[in-house]
Amino acid sequence: MKNRIKVLRAERDITQAQLADELGVSRQTINAIEKGKFDPSLPLAFKLAGLFRLTIEEVFQYED
Amino acid sequence: MSKQSESWKQVNKRNTANLAVWTLAWTLTMAVVSLGPKYIWENDASISLIAILINTAIGVGMILANKRHLNGLDELHRKVQLESLALALGVAVVGGLSYSMLDVANVISYDAEISHLVILIGLTYLVATVVGLTRYK
C-alpha cells in the first residue's frame, strides 16, 4: 500500500516523532508505514488521515 | 498535543519496568528454589514446597505483567512480538519433542533436560525479535 505521509508531513513541517506522539505510536511505526513496510490498522489509518484533515483515500493508495 | 503521546510512552515504560521487576523476582526465586534445598534449608521438604509455591505465584505475576506489556505496545511492535512468540512456540513444540525422541531412542548419550529447551526458546525469541525489529527499521 502506497501513501503520501512523507509529503503531507513535509507540507505541514511535522517530524515523524511529532506525528507518532499525536497518534500514540512509536516513531519506528510511523517510519515503517511511511516506507510502505507496514500497513496500519483501519483505526490508525483513519486517525492518521484525520490528523491531516483528509480522507483515507487521499493518504493511502491500495496497489496489488 | 504531546499529552496523549507522553501517557502512551509513560504507560509503555511503566509496563516494561514492571515486567523487568517480575522477571527478576521470578529468576531470583527460581535460583533460591534450585539451590536452597542443598545450601540453605538442608532438604526440608516443607520449606521447599513453600519456596516453590512462592516462585510459582511470582511466575503467574510475571505472565500477567508480560500480557499487560504486550497489550500496551503499538500495533507494529505487537506484530513483531506475535511473530517472535509464534516462532518460539513452534520451536519449543517441534524442537522439544524431537529432542525428547532423541533421548528416548538413545541417539544422544545424555538426558534431554528441560533447561536446554528453555535456552532454545529464549534464544529463538530473542533472535526473532531482533530480526523483526530490524526488518521494520
pLDDT tens digit sequence for B10-67: 889 999 999 999 999 999 999 999 999 999 998 899 999 999 999 999 999 999 999 9
Interchain proximity B136–A38, CB inside 8 Å: yes
* pLDDT tens readout for residues B61-117: 999 999 999 999 999 999 999 999 999 999 999 999 999 999 999 999 998 999 999
Checking if the pLDDT of B5 tops 90, the result is no
CB within 8 Å: A28 and B4:
no
Cβ-contact B81, B28 below 8 angstroms? no
Out of A20, A24, A28, the one facing B136 most closely (by C-beta) is A28
Looking at the complex, does the CB of residue A51 fall below 8 Å from at least one CB of chain B? no
pLDDT at B9: 84
* Interchain contact, B76 vs A26, CB within 8 Å: yes
Site from B5, B11, B80, B82 to mutate, A interface, most A CB atoms within 10 angstroms: B5
In 3-state terms, what secondary structure has residue B18?
A: helix
A23: closest CA of chain B, how far (Å): 7
Q: What SS3 state is found at A2? A: strand
Closest Cβ–Cβ partner in A24, A29, A40 for B5: A24
Closest-CA residue to B78 (of A51, A18, A28): A28
pLDDT at B3 over 70: no
User: Residue A35: which H helix or E strand, with range?
Assistant: none
Alpha helices in chain A (DSSP H): 5-12, 16-23, 27-34, 42-51, 56-59
Q: Do A25 and B133 touch (CB under 8 A)?
A: no
Q: Which three cell numbers stand for residue A35?
A: 516506507
pLDDT given for residue B4 in this prediction: 55
Sign of the four-CA dihedral B102, B106, B108, B110 = positive
CA distance A55 to A63: 17
pTM > 0.95: no
* ipTM of the complex as predicted: 0.91
Residue keyed to cell 530490524? B134
Please identify which residue in the block is written with the cell numbers 483513519.
A46
